[in-house]
Chain A
Amino acid sequence: MKKNEERIKAYNKYVSAKVPKTKPWPTLFNSFWVGGVICLIGQGINDLILFLVPNISEQSAWAYTLIALIFIAAFLTGIGVYDKIGKFAGGGSIVPITGFSNSITSPSIEFKSEGIIYGICVKMFTIAGPVIVFGVISSALVGLIYYIIYLFI
């Protein structure tokens, strides 16, 4: 029995020695500048749309910008580049809308071998599902509060 405990201890020590340690400072710096650059690209696309189509509404211009970013991120995920950026930048690649796109495209491609319905379509929402659920519920809650406020004024 005691021998078994010693083995577990030794194993845990072995595992913690093998787990790659992420150094906090470089990843913080990388997430900062990669995230900033992704936002700059978004601002560039938005300004370009406003320049090319001057009478577009601000809201539609943002919608096109986000769709363009989602397209770029889905493509980069497809050719395997986005995962490399993710390994390098961490939060810098997860937090922008491109990370949301990556979280949908990446499992779709990975589970393609399980078929179109049970592979692509089901696994597509492994990460995006909770995001949409919490987003819809929390915004509906906000809507309810505003509805009650409007009832009284």
Chain B
Amino acid sequence: MSRLPQMPDEWVDRSKTLRFRFEGRDYVAFSGDAVSSALWASGVRTLGRSFKYHRPRGILSMANHDVNVMVQDGQRHNARGDVVQVRDGMDLTAVNTWGGVASDKVRFLDRLSPFLPVGFYYKAFYSKRWFPMWERMFRAITGLGRLDTNTPHIHTPKRYDFCDVLVIGAGPSGLSAALAAADAGASVALVDENARAGGSGLYQLGGDAARRQATRELLAKARQHERIRIFEGTLAAAWYADQWVPLVDADKMTKMRAGATVMASGAFEQPTVFRNNDLPGVMLGSAMQRLIYRYAVQPARRVVVTTANADGYRLALDLFDAGVQVLAVADLREAIPACAAVDAVRARGIDCLPGTGVYEAHADGRGELAAVTLCKVRDGVAETSTARRIDCDGVAMSTGWAPAANLLYQAGTKMRFDERLQQFVPDALPEAVFACGRVNGVFGLDARIADGARAGTAAAAHVLGKALSAPPVPAESEAPSHPWPVVAHPSAKNFVDFDEDLQVKDFENAVQEGYDNIELLKRFTTVGMGPSQGKHSNMTALRILGRLVGKSPQQVGTTTARPFFHPVPMSHLAGRGFNPQRRSPLHGRHAALGAVFMPAGAWERPEYYVVAGKSRTDCIHDEVRRVRTKVAMIDVGTLGKIEIRGPQAAEFLNRVYTARIDLLKLGGTRYAIMCDESGVLTDEGVIARLADDVYYFTTTTSGAANVYREMSRLNAEWRLQCGIINLTGAYSSVNLAGPDCRKVLGPLTDLDLSAAAFPYLAVRQGSIAGIPARLMRVGFVGEWGYEIHVPAEYGPTLWDTLMKAGEPYGIGPFGVEAQRLLRLEKGHLIVSQDTDGLTHPFEVSMDWAVKLDKPFFVGQRSLKILKQMPLKRKLAGFRLPAGYSGQVPQECHLVIVGGEIAGRVTSIYWSPNVGCHIGLAFLPPELATPGSRFEIRVTDGSMVAAEVCETPFFDPEDLRQKEQS
């Protein structure tokens, strides 16, 4: 083929020549060329291989959904040849070939195709013996492009945007709609997936160059309009609830929230079904027009047009003008209705053949189009006696359209099949959604422009709340879709779905097997499931099914149209990625001290602090020893911190926690647990009463977000007089613990730290080195200690001050691991480690924390019932013999009794203070008494003996938290 003389609105820039490679050969292109147009201009016709039979394929549609031509572009696979523009130096190969597109080694599959009918895969190779081998073979040839696992993580930006009216499609009707809406005062976003706006108004000219004038004028006005923004090369990828439309272009995704949407998305021309309708050289009529007017490429030299509408004649005129020899216009209709285009075609001496269709296309040695056989065709059946062979290198298919209604369906539009138009059209549109142009069943150019104005006006009226009116739309006279664009052939290869290589007989077989409704047919044949999502196949499939089961297309119905309209790269959807990570205000201090961090939900917490030359275990044991013998500090700023204020704050907490919070005295704290409705223990924390109507409390680190969310939800229901404030990030907290902690803290604070003035479980507000602080005397690690909460910005100063003050006493930091060991020595459980999704308080001996006699709390009803039932298991402390040196059980190793699972280990450590391994385990209640022996099975299957013992393991009388006199 060759490049035509300059076209008035061509997309290529002839001043810039680009060089690229395809399948190892060098080609040139102009800037603005699509891969397909550049190759076609260079005379390359086999551009790809089909998915299943590896048949040679050329251009089908050039309409952004052409999956015949998919190329590997470096690290991009399945790049669409009709969308991707040539870049200088590109090195492309066709996807899905073995050994190149020209001599694909698996093209033999095409000859096997009679033996590979639809559903073949379901009927073969299913024996257990052969399936794995066959599957390996199948997986070797399946799929399209090849993924390059060295592709980098691409971070693509996202934008948010707003408009009154979003118009999808910038063809004549879309431009007209945008202008009407903008003129009425609405802000308009006009998007078009093509590189340039204008749509069919600039390439379906019917031999009349003046026809483009109307569209040009609309486009010029729209470009100048202050309230219209035009997004070209931008795909409206889907329609989601509340007019939420992702707009995807090469570099980003824009999430558009529109007040109203006007769908002016046009229609997809549909292939005519005849034998070998997929040969390179056979293409949609509109594809030829796009090649001519957008890329100035001659689509073929000698063309046969197969048509059933006026579009085919207008196409013939466009071809004629482009210097193409139009050999014949074969019209499936018995009589050709008179119209100007038909007269013009005849006037140019072109044969117009009524009641005629392509019976089959013939390939040359390379598998590309060389000739067609035309026959008289009546209702899809060819009279072969009338066969007439014509040598040609192009066949244009122009027998009908299907609306590009995907987004209309996604928006919930009820569509109806219009028998006269032979097309689905909107019947009932959802609120704030409008349609115009071809997708609305309007085909004449003037009518489309008027329809656009009507829809744009209505959309503006909806958004602006004004009463507006537009001139009426002239009645549509064209009926461009043929009800049966299918020509039967005994040797098949008459393709309905080019993505999936589906032929007419595949549908016949499927229906015969009982897949006789559109959804089952789709799933069994996979029609419409390929990359183009049925844009060029669903309508014909529906017609075929209708015929086979004796139903109209309306009765057959359509399958669900789902996002996306056109596939969207994951990098666009992912955007820059959002991985919220929380760092305590003290993070830098920990890093400087050599902390090894561990994830804790969104937080990073110090697991332990590295000391040069020491093992992890030794470091942790040193930290433990420091807490037990001197003084040490841990960052507990990751705990959830919530404040509740208001006259009904106590009532609220009383309903949420199992304890009597209302009885908590001013200045006191209480350890409390929370259950769900089934009585399962979900969270724990310390609640402090700071004033009559002010409570401040902590939650677990992992539970913080959930607890806050659940409390907010509950109070939305209960409407108690209190406010819930999440202060987790607003406060920094440390736990200062150890026998010397008062020596460190005392000189820094105005508070009296004596046991009498500040007893165990009390809360005090005071200042530490001038920093306002809330202090709670807690005992989680089993030492005298204070949990100190200060505003987050004071956190580092508090830390530094305490560290400095503690220097003479050998202060140091301790991490999460040391804390876990310390609390285990005291027999304290950790919710979610020592409990699971079914653990209720009685199983973990927390009966004391549950006040069943309160009027109400969440889980109360369940706990009252559970209280009456025998326990199924119990959490108990255990120890391994001192000096045990065998395999040490790990958390979640199972307790085995009589060969059956009887429980599991939830925590285990070697305790330097107890001198043996200690742990907690769920056991059958009868075993959970001190002195009982049981066995734990470790990973390799061997059994380890353990003995139940009392907790706390260390300092059972809590003497270390009491003042010694």
The yes or no verdict on A and B being binding partners is no
